[in-house]
Amino acid sequence: MSRNFPDQFLWGAASSGPQMEGAGSLNGKAQNVWDYWFEKEPETFYQQIGPEETSGFYHHYKEDIVLMKEIGFNSFRTSISWTRLIPDGLQVNEEAVSFYRDVFKELNDKGIKPIINLYHFDMPVRLHKQGGWENRETAEEFSRYAKIAFTRFGDLVDEWVTFNEPIVPIEMGYLNDKHLPAVYDLKRAFQAGFHTMLAHAKAVKAFKKSGHSGKIGIILNLMPSYPRSSDEKNDQDAAFYADLLFNRSFLDPAVKGAYPAELVEFMKQEGITLSFTGEDLEIIRANKIDFLGVNYYQPRRVQAGDPLGSGLDKYFQPYQWPEAKINPHRGWEIYEKGIYDIAITIRDHYSNIPWFIAENGMGVEGEERFEDEKGIIQDDYRIDFMSDHLGWLHKAIEERSNCYGYHVWTFIDNWSWLNEYKNRYGLVRLDLASGKRYKKKSADWFNALASSNQLTDKW
C-alpha cells in the first residue's frame, strides 16, 4: 500500500546553529550560555566535548547542502546564532552576514527552502548575566535582533521562526538543572516565560510592520498528556494541568493571542504575580502567528498529584504506562498515535492553523554497533520510527488536519547540549575524529519517500 501526501509537501530536516555550525569562537562570534558553561564546568558535559566545533557546518555547508539534496530535501530548518550576528549587542558582524547569506543562497540554488529560526536555546552570555529572560530588556534586545535578521536576510528567506521549544529553557533552567540558570523557582519560571512570549510577539510585530513577504511562526514541542485512568477525576485533573503548563502556556498566546484563563487562575493559586503592562498583552493579542511548527518525540503520561507535595508535584506526577513501547537505546516512550492526537487537537481547537512537523526523530547510543561490512549504519529502527509516525500523520491529513510538512531531527549527527554526541539522531553519520560524513540506510529511505511524496511498506 502507498499513501500520497499533499502536493508541495515539505520534506527535510531540522537543526540549529549552536548544535551544527561549530566555529564557536571564530570570525567575531561572542559567547552564548553554552560556550560559557562549557568553559566554566566542562565536567558537567557527558563527553566533555564543547560547542566550539560541533558538526562543522560553518566550514562544510556547501558539501552538506549537496548531501541534503541527494537525500531528497526540499526544505531545511536551522537557526541564526544571535551571538554571531550581533556579538556585542550593538554592531552587526558583517562576516556573519556573509556566511548566512551564502548558506541561504546555496539552499535556494539547490531548491531547498530555508526555514530560519531566530532562537534555539543560545542566550548571549552578556544577557544571561543580566537576568536572561527574567529581564524585560532581553525581550527588547531580541526584537532588535529580529529586525536586523529580517532586513539582512529577508530577500533570501520567506519563512521565519521566532523560537524553537521556548518551554524548554524555562522547564530545564527554572525547574531543573539542565540549562542555566539551573534553579527551581516557579515564579521566576513564569516571569521568564512571559518575557519569552513578549519577545516572540514583538518579533512578529516587527516582521509584519516591515512589509517583508513570507510568513512567521513559532515551533513548540507538544507532548500530549495522557492520564493514568480515564475515569479517575484526579488523574484527569493531572493531565489537564500538565497540558495547561507545558503545552497551552505558549500555544494559546501564540495562536489565539491570549493566555488560558485557567493558567491565570493557576498563578493565583500559587501566589505568582508577574511584572507586565496592558500594552504587553495587547502586543501578544495583536501579533498571532501565521503557522505553527510542532516537535514531537514522546507523550507525557501522568497520574494524580500529591496534595502534600511541593511545586508541580501537587498537580501531577509522572506515570509509567505498562503497555509503553520504549526506545531501548534512549529510554523514551515511542507512541506514534500521539502525532495524530496533536494533529486533531490543532484542527479542532486551534482553527486548523497551517502547521508542520518541525522535528521527529529517534536517538540511539552506540550506533556503530549497527554498521555493516560496507561501513553503512543499518538504522532500520529509525526507518520504522519515521514510517510509523508518518502513517498516523497521513491519517490526520486525510481527516483535514492542515499539515504541510515533515522534518526529521536531524540531517547529520549533531551536538546536543549536555549530552553532546551520546545519542545519534542523524540521517547522516558524523565521524568525530575525521569530520567525514556518511549516509546511513535511513538517508536513502528518506530520499525515496521525499522523491515519491508517498509512504509505502506497511502503511
Catalytic residue among 141, 159, 171, 359: 359
Nearest-angstrom CA–CA distance, 24 and 26: 6
pLDDT tens per residue across span 336-350: 999 999 999 999 999
Which residue, among 104, 70, 87, has the nearest Cα to 23 in the 3D structure? 87
DSSP 246: I
H helix or E strand, kind and range, residue 395 = helix 380-398
11 to each of 8, 114, 195, 393, 446, how far by Cα in Å? Answer: 9, 12, 33, 13, 9
* Neighbour count for residue 314 (Cβ, 10 Å): 15
Q: Is 95 tagged catalytic?
A: no
* Cell numbers given for 25: 569562537
Alpha helix positions (H), 399-452: 441-452
* Cell numbers given for 396: 490526520
Give the pLDDT band of residue 459 (cuts 50, 70, 90). very low
Which residue, among 292, 168, 318, has the nearest Cα to 228 in the 3D structure? 318
Which residue, among 288, 280, 292, 279, has the nearest Cα to 257 in the 3D structure? 288
Distance of CA 359 to the CA centre of its chain: 7
Give the pLDDT band of residue 451 (cuts 50, 70, 90). very high
* Cell numbers given for 334: 515511542
Alpha helix positions (H), 41-166: 57-70, 82-85, 94-109, 125-128, 136-153
Strand partners, 78: 116
The mean per-residue pLDDT over the stretch 302-312 comes to 90
The proportion of the chain whose per-residue pLDDT surpasses 90, expressed as a percent, equals 92
260-291 burial code (b ≥16 CB/10 A, e <16): beebeebbeeeeeeeeeeeebbebbeebbbbb
pLDDT tens per residue across span 207-263: 999 888 899 999 999 999 999 998 899 999 999 999 999 999 999 999 999 999 999
pLDDT tens per residue across span 2-20: 799 999 999 999 999 999 9
Nearest-angstrom CA–CA distance, 436 and 265: 53
* Cell numbers given for 450: 521525499
- DSSP string over 86-121: STTSSS--HHHHHHHHHHHHHHHHTT-EEEEES-SS
Predicted local distance difference test score (pLDDT) of residue 458: 53
* Cell numbers given for 10: 515539505
Q: Is 336 tagged catalytic?
A: no
Nearest-angstrom CA–CA distance, 245 and 243: 6
Nearest-angstrom CA–CA distance, 67 and 81: 23
How many domains are there within the chain? 1
pLDDT tens per residue across span 165-184: 999 999 999 999 999 999 99
Q: Tell me, what CATH number does 384's domain have? A: 3.20.20.80
Strand partners, 327: none
**pTM (two decimals):** 0.96
Q: Domain containing 160: what range?
A: 3-455
Residue 237 class from Cβ within 10 Å (0-12 exposed, 13-18 middle, 19+ buried)? middle
Nearest-angstrom CA–CA distance, 18 and 36: 13
Catalytic residue among 21, 106, 141, 165: 165
Strand partners, 291: 217
